[in-house]
Structure 1
Amino acid sequence: MAIAPPGRGRNSVRLRRYNERLLLQVLRRSGEASKADLARRTHLTSTAIGSIIQSLEESDLIVYTGRRTEGQRGQPATLIDLNPKGAFGIGVRLDRDSIETALLDFGGQILARRVHDRILPSPDETLELVRKDIDEVLKAITPEERERLTGIGVAQPFNLGAWLRELNIAQPEFRAWDEVDFAFELGEATGLPVFSENDGNAAAIAELFYGCGREFDDFIYLFLGPVIGCGIALNGDCLRGVTGNAGDVAVMPVPPGKLASAQAPSGKWELLLSRASLNALARHLRYHGAEVASHADLERHIRAHHPAVEEWVEDCIDALTPALRSALCILDVPVVVLDADVDGGLLDLLQRQLAASLAETAPEARGVPDLVRGSFGSDAGAVGAASLPMFFSFSPRAEILRNQGKSMEEMRDAD
């Protein structure tokens, strides 16, 4: 009997796993399809497609939805789609002023959530609160469905204890967060695999997996929350960098703002987050006597066309344009996805003014990227966090073809 060279068997397993995930991605992007459709879109043989479909059906990841009759000759084609109940992910979004836990199904729908609008407490108190919230959201699925839980995703700003001056926050408890591995502690408390990313990357992954990634593989993702977040999608994967901070536009240096509410600069430069953030918008509204105690208050002032909102938008775009233009020069991506924690017309206003400003500053022989509205709005954090275990379990990322590290499946097999 011939013996396969070392590594060939493992590479074959990785290739099959990649092809399974590729097929799932096609279904996620296009919806229901026949075997012939899948073979054409994945460039796999009909035999390979048949084998993969059988495996995915046994894992409850796909369902048969009916038969295609229109335009068909001969036997109607059987149609296949993702099974929304085939997998589930839990997402935990932590921010300086909120905690959110959500349960997401394989189709990208939020099934249950728990939200606490409060200043982020100590890591120990947060761990206990989140653990209880996880127990609560899991009540939305059956014990059998819980066996299909892929894990927990944690999305939070890195360096929570930093930049408090720029954010007008005096909360020394945040410093403790820079000394704790919350994802590890949560894994120990729940016994589930935990995947951790900064909130910008997590929201970009949600767009890749369930949103704009159905159409685009390469984009810069900007999310306007209390602090501006960013993620970078290249070749259908999220660019992380050495420390996971790739795309951290919030700390790009910009000139100090010119608004009357702007803080006195500490030097020649300020950070982008001090001008392009909902925190900066709230500060400017309060300076003009407006009451801002919540996102609902912000949205109310936006809908009412408060003059301070227009002033802040102009200052925000003035700071954001050179930062984004610099990123585009380096990354050369054709699309910018823009989303926010609030709307009320704010996204349309930002999108129009940013497109005009980018066009004015476009270098010779360079154009303006397509500006696309994000898919999730205020749900981006929760969906992003809950997408993490699903993305790493079911996305056809190139890493699973490399002989570096272990996939989730391999770690489970080893157990």
Structure 2
Amino acid sequence: MRSPHIGRGSNSANLRLYHERLLLQALRRSQPTSRADLARQANLTSTAVGSIIASLDEAGLIEYTGRRLEGQRGQPASLIQLDPRGAFGFGVRLDRTSIETVLVNFAGNMLARSVHEMVLPHPGQVLDIVKHDVQNMLALLAPAERKRLTGVGVAQPFHLGSWARELGLPADLFRAWDETDFPAELGSVLSLPVFIENDGNAAAIAELFYGCGRQCEDFVYLFLGSAIGGGIAIEGDCLRGGTGNAGDIGIMPVPPSRLSSAPQPAGQWDILLSRASLNALARHLRHSGETISNRFDLTACIERRLPAVDEWIDDCIEALAPALHATLCVVDVPAIVLDADVDSGLLDTLLERLRVAMAATAPEARSVPALIRGTFGSDAGAIGAATLPMFFNFSPSAGLLNSSSAKSKEVSHAND
């Protein structure tokens, strides 16, 4: 973590809160660990760390586990780790073809999950489904644990009514979503704070908080689902842009597909999600005579190593590699993280072919970034959603060092 710039508007309370979050981040990266190690990682004095650790212990966010010798002399050091029961968050992932609700604890462990595979119905119907699922999951928490709920995260494409032609879905089914403030309605029904991000950003935040972000703070994140979502992590935070869609690589212009299954675009260019998405794979498999109704059917076709799967992979990589080179020209990061809704060997194949394609087309004097397999697979969107309230409540942020902006940042994300 880079040292924050402390401006004139900072105060000791916000600086203290920042340091508390910095120690929590250090614990996520190297737990269990000792106070001395935490002091070295956070560049704080032992006295300051001792005081903060006492506060975190009193708040129930950490626990002690065992001891270890720091050297040949003195008493063994107590080891500290995050208390999984220190906080809880609900996550709601809305995709065009599924609804998923999860309950996650402070350690990032999924405690409960409910999935509904269906073309997304009217917002009112989805509200009833999510409310019912959340109420069932609340029964798993003791009364004292319910007081540690940090809120509900919602991860969804911000423009659900768009790109229907490219995804082969009926546009009229999604028009109501462009006219509904679903997070606000959900917060009213559940009486909990709600945090909203597009699905690509949410999954990237999960990687930052609980995945590869514990070792690497700067990366481009891609998630291959029914469409392809993306996010950009810079200095331990998620780059959002003016409308929250920074890193939305799925709408990057690409040449039209040469696959016979692909619909031709109206103009000279198509967009990436029409080629690099599981909907494109399903479309090509149906064109080849397969019956594809859900992710399980896709997985079965991948496991059978059908020629149509390889044909789609070639087409996907042909569009994806130059799109990523273009992205890296704008954001100079050392790594690309790729995850997907299905696997059975597909993800490793995509990573290897993408590595070869990017190396073959790398501009002069530019190296290929590390290509990293994502941490969460099909759970990425839901865990990303559940991580949102955790991230905004417990992640260090330079904004905390300015008293005038600390609260507004959280409120803006809760009500986006």
Q: TM-score range by the shorter chain?
A: over 0.9
Query: 2:302 corresponds to which residue?
Result: 302
Query: 1:3 corresponds to which residue?
Result: none
Read off the aligned partner of 2:364 and give its amino acid letter: E
- Give the drift of 1:406: 3.9
Change (3 A) 1:77 1:310: same
Do residues 350 (structure 1) and 350 (structure 2) align?
A: yes
Read off the aligned partner of 2:303 and give its amino acid letter: R
Q: Could you list the runs of 5+ residues in structure 1 that have no partner in the other structure?
A: 1-6
- Give the drift of 1:190: 1.1
- Give the drift of 1:408: 8.6
Q: Within 2, Cα distance between the matches of 1:241 and 1:137?
A: 34
Deviations 1:52-103 (A, max 9, x none): 0011001100001011137442111111110000000100000111101100
Normalized against structure 2, the TM-score is what?
0.95
Query: 1:220 corresponds to which residue?
Result: 220
Q: Within 1, Cα distance between the matches of 2:148 and 2:333?
A: 36
Q: How do 1:45-194 residues align onto structure 2 when only pairs under 5 Å count?
A: 45-69=45-69, 71-194=71-194
Query: 1:380 corresponds to which residue?
Result: 380
Query: 2:245 corresponds to which residue?
Result: 245
Query: 2:312 corresponds to which residue?
Result: 312
Read off the aligned partner of 1:22 and give its amino acid letter: L
Q: Within 2, Cα distance between the matches of 1:382 and 1:167?
A: 21
- Identity value in percent: 63
SS of equivalent residue, structure 2 residue 396: coil
- Give the drift of 1:405: 3.2
Q: Within 2, Cα distance between the matches of 1:200 and 1:134?
A: 23
Read off the aligned partner of 2:44 and give its amino acid letter: L
Change (3 A) 1:173 1:410: closer
SS of equivalent residue, structure 2 residue 387: helix
- Give the drift of 1:375: 0.1
Q: Could you list the runs of 5+ residues in structure 2 that have no partner in the other structure?
A: 1-6, 412-416
SS of equivalent residue, structure 2 residue 350: helix
Q: Within 2, Cα distance between the matches of 1:249 and 1:195?
A: 22
Do residues 254 (structure 1) and 254 (structure 2) align?
A: yes
Query: 1:369 corresponds to which residue?
Result: 369
Query: 2:274 corresponds to which residue?
Result: 274
Read off the aligned partner of 1:375 and give its amino acid letter: T
Change (3 A) 1:224 1:410: closer
Read off the aligned partner of 1:323 and give its amino acid letter: A
Q: Within 2, Cα distance between the matches of 1:140 and 1:266?
A: 51
- Give the drift of 1:128: 1.4
Read off the aligned partner of 1:101 and give its amino acid letter: T
Do residues 334 (structure 1) and 334 (structure 2) align?
A: yes
Deviations 1:88-120 (A, max 9, x none): 010000011110110000000000111111111
Q: Which has the higher contact order (CA 8 A, sep 6+)?
A: 2
Change (3 A) 1:71 1:304: farther
Query: 2:3 corresponds to which residue?
Result: none
Contact 2:123 2:180 in 1 (8 A): yes
Deviations 1:251-302 (A, max 9, x none): 1110100001011221100011100000000000000001111111111111
Q: Within 1, Cα distance between the matches of 2:150 and 2:9?
A: 26
**Equivalences, count:** 405
Give the aligned CA root-mean-square deviation in angstroms: 1.6
Read off the aligned partner of 2:291 and give its amino acid letter: E
Contact 1:114 1:137 in 2 (8 A): no
Change (3 A) 1:93 1:72: farther
Q: Within 1, Cα distance between the matches of 2:60 and 2:262?
A: 55
Contact 1:393 1:408 in 2 (8 A): no
Deviates more, 1:292-301 or 1:275-284: 292-301
Contact 2:10 2:402 in 1 (8 A): no
- Give the drift of 1:9: 9.2
Do residues 19 (structure 1) and 44 (structure 2) align?
A: no
Contact 1:101 1:130 in 2 (8 A): yes
Q: Within 2, Cα distance between the matches of 1:191 and 1:408?
A: 20
Deviations 1:113-148 (A, max 9, x none): 111111111111111111111111112211110100
SS of equivalent residue, structure 2 residue 86: coil
Read off the aligned partner of 1:30 and give its amino acid letter: S
Read off the aligned partner of 1:338 and give its amino acid letter: L
Query: 2:414 corresponds to which residue?
Result: none
- Give the drift of 1:404: 4.1
- Give the drift of 1:158: 1.0
Read off the aligned partner of 2:135 and give its amino acid letter: D
SS of equivalent residue, structure 1 residue 166: helix
